[in-house]
Amino acid sequence: MVQTTSPHLLALDLGDKRVGVATANTATMMASPLTTLDNDEILMVNLAKLVEEYQVQLLVIGLPRSLSGQDSAQTVKARETIDQITKELGIKTVMQDEALSSLRAEEELKSRGKIFAKADVDKLAACLILEDYIQGLGE
């Protein structure tokens, strides 16, 4: 495995079937979609590989909530996954509101006029979550 030259932030858009992943180099703080991972029994193994490869300093994880800002069943599942990631990978995590990130990602992809897969939406949603987090750092 080839290591990158500088540390990164990694963002996750947690879904029942897939997890969208985006990254940003800590030097440039420019977010970009990276990949999608299956949300299965080897998710933690695959995340650990990305954390090592990208020298991840922080995981930014999208926290789903209802449109009114209240916790939902998805919020509970996300918090459980976040706890598992923190425990198993021993990496610092932060939660970022992911309100409408998948819808925004899908609309952006549609506006490009090209055919896209659900995995494209997932990794772009992770990118939007990461962009929101980075923008919040400057406020």
Residue 18 falls inside a structural domain: yes
Where in the sequence is the domain holding 40, given as residue range(s)? 8-137
Domain of 89, CATH number, reads 3.30.420.140
> Considering its fold, how many domains does the chain have in total?
1
CA-to-CA separations, 63 to 28, 60, 115, in angstroms, rounded:
24, 9, 28
pLDDT tens digits in sequence order for the chain, 139 residues long? 445 557 899 999 999 899 999 999 888 889 999 999 999 999 999 999 999 999 998 999 999 887 777 888 888 888 999 999 999 999 999 999 888 888 889 899 999 988 889 999 999 999 999 999 998 876 6
Residue in this structure with the two tokens 């490869």, named with its chain if needed: 53
Residue 17 falls inside a structural domain: yes
| pTM of the model as a whole | 0.88
